[in-house]
Structure 1
Amino acid sequence: MLNRFQLARLRAFRKAAWVEQRFGGKSEEAAARVLCVASGKGGVGKSVLATNLAVLRAEQGERVLLVDFDAGLANAHLLLGVVPRHDLGHVLKGQASVEEARVEGPAGVSLLSGGVGREILVNPTRRDLDRIFQVLRPLEQDYDLVIIDHGAGMGYATIAHLAATSTLLLVSNHEITALSDAYALYKRAHAVNANIRVGMVFNRVPGESAVDAAWARFRSTSLKFLGHAPELVGWVPADEAVAHSVQTRTPVVQAAQDSAASRAIRQVASWGPIDHARTTRAFYDQARKALR
């Protein structure tokens, strides 16, 4: 009997074949939508946001894959309360298949962990990344949405992903250091991908006044020096419910559904561009091309 991933792939294949036969082209919907979640600075709660977004979208009936690409410092498995037997490091070394590394989490979210302390993922070569992208490519047909949780900063893997994606959620807090690093990443994203759609989320902020001041500073700087600015998607307040959910390894949107943080994350999860986060060709094909 086929499992749900095999059934999903079979449906996608049949749909793509029908479209190609009838219209002479490939089905855009045969591959998943891809949302990159990144930050310039560490410690802004990016992974908490990414995991909870994945759970919310899965609860809406979507098939969601979360790829934790935080180079060797992956923690999405802890936030989801799962224990993967294998990770992307094992896949890259040929010690496990990507199917063996995939694990199911809350609401049916599938997770591919980057592993902890994986040196091979901290400084991957172009060849290493090409191999990873190649093995991830078939998974696009198994899912409706792929969320990629990047490590902070502008590592080679992050830039390759940003060059390929159509949609980025840029996470920051209100502090000047985080804003400066977020601006640098935003600038770099547009340098490698002029058509990228960027939404900004402020996380762990004390209140609306702090968000207003931070957003005004970021937006004015972006408009002045780049001629464009991201879209403000929303903000998530500092909330003890989040800290408690991390300790209990349960996503806050499930552990404390009525908390201020959960309500705010639901607003972020409803950002319209997520529903249209497609590229002109399969995402990982484009990511591989960006490596060349």
Structure 2
Amino acid sequence: MNTVNLSKLVLSSYFFDLLAQENIHFEQIFSDNPALAAFGVSVIDRDLSTFFESQSKKKNGLIILDQLSFSDITPFLGQLFENVIVIDAWTGMSSFGRKFAPELRFLEGAEDVVFPLDLQTFLRALASHKSALIPLTAQEIPENVYESPSEEVFQIVDKHLVDHSEFLSLTTLEHPELLLIGMGSYFEEYVKLSQLLDACPERIALGVLGKTSALGLDSVQRLVKNAKKIGICIDHESLSALAYFRRSLHDKPIFMITPDYKKLTTFAPEWQLEQVSFDASSLLERSLKLLV
């Protein structure tokens, strides 16, 4: 299976080749990474107020954040674009050692948030030109959930689920004790978790969120209504994330499952999940404790 690290992709020349190849165009692209100037990106090279006040408003735009945090630019978004997509290249665990300060509260000030489960859903979000925050985590994700789109050889889930990629139900139960909702940026870890849940007698359902606005869909609301408890698995500061998700899930007991950032000692993504108790087996163990 071919995979891609979106965090590295968006800061490379290949990303801009890919945009051209997919015929995805923005009236203006900003970034705080000076190396992207070589690809026609306007680099944020002054204090934010001075820089953004010198810009004229555009219909649509893209902002790629490398070291700045999403909260740094939120006051200026409305004056810059009618619709803007913000790609936050390093969030959660991946932001440690890469940003001026760890990006653990990106949901604050965000409306719709996209958690791409593969490269194709990422590109579809960009092509829509609809305002959204796309937080990336330096995880390897599939280029496509198909081995070959023409042959439709399924790598992970069937086509029916992929066609509803805003929210994927990986394990379904009629009236679960616990409905776990994970973010699409850790999709493969949740696939592993679903396999563990299949062998688990406890009534735990699992869904993967590709877009936060999908929480308002009737199909998702039915799942929420039928569950006794909701568990949110997200690479984010716990209380801040809880406040965000209460907007859509306010009638249910909500429990947050977040990384134990105090245990983090490595910048290598392949080791971080286990280290901070956010890998599939740790998520299962932590989920079972919510049933007590």
Give the TM-score taking structure 1 as reference length: 0.32
Greater relative contact order (CA < 8 Å, ≥ 6 in sequence): 1
Q: TM-score with structure 2 length normalisation?
A: 0.32
